[in-house]
Structure 1
Amino acid sequence: MKKDIVAEVLKHPKYQELVRRRTRVSMGFFGITLLIYASFILTMAYLPEVFAQPLGGNWTMSVGLFVGLLVVCSAVLLIALYTYFSNKVFDPLLEAIMRDVE
């Protein structure tokens, strides 16, 4: 008789923990990303003069360009953090679940 692996995985307590932790972490990263992008867009929409100012006295780079670069860098950093967290926390949990089920 064949085992129904999907049903066993869905009932496994470690799988429930994996789903809970992954949802919590994903929502945290989503909230941080939303805060960064929404702040950037709302500042651009309602305070464009802030982004039009130069960074310093004789600088040609504007605040808007610098903040835009920071937004892009924050996205790369958040992706790297999530990947690291996924490899160190989620993958071992998933491997433990698969060992228990098989």
Structure 2
Amino acid sequence: MSGNNINAKIRSNPKFAELVGKRTRFAIILSLIVLLPYYSYMLVVSLQPQLLASKISDGSVITIGWPLAALIVIGGWLLTGVYVSRANGEFDRLNEEILKEARK
């Protein structure tokens, strides 16, 4: 079976459109969840730095900005794990079904 024939079968499969749509929507949602806090933090740093400069407690050298930045980074890591988990589960299953149908 030629590669062009398989490609045509895959592209015409409704499951392929479903996979592309689900994966795209999921990636956009996760990207927004990561980027909105990041850019909000950058705006606060540039426009109102005194908000993040206050100390966590009396006598502490750590400001509020450090833990917030750490949470943003950790959140990005966790959301990457969420994407990988779904990609290795649901998206891979759909992909295998599409390939199986295309090879028939």
TM-score band, normalised by shorter chain: over 0.9
* Cα pair 2:34 2:72 within 8 Å, conserved: no
What residue number does 1:64 align with?
65
Shift in Å, 1:86 = 0.9
What residue number does 1:15 align with?
16
TM-score (norm 2): 0.91
Alpha-carbon separation, structure 2, partners of 1:70 and 1:41 = 14
What residue number does 1:40 align with?
41
Q: Which consecutive aligned stretches of 4+ in structure 1 deviate over 2 angstroms post-superposition?
A: none
* Cα pair 2:55 2:62 within 8 Å, conserved: yes
Shift in Å, 1:2 = 3.6
Shift in Å, 1:58 = 2.1
| Count of aligned residue pairs for this structure pair | 102
Matches within 5 A, 1:70-81: 70-81=71-82
Q: Deviations over 1:15-72 (max 9, x none)?
A: 0100110111011011111211111111111110011111112221111111111111
What residue number does 1:54 align with?
55
Helix, strand or coil at the partner of 1:59: coil
Unaligned runs of 5+ in 1: none
What residue number does 2:87 align with?
86
Q: Deviations over 1:75-96 (max 9, x none)?
A: 1011011111111210000001
TM-score (norm 1): 0.92
Shift in Å, 1:6 = 0.8
User: Which moved further from structure 2: 14-23 or 30-39?
Assistant: 30-39
Give me the CA root mean square deviation.
Answer: 1.3
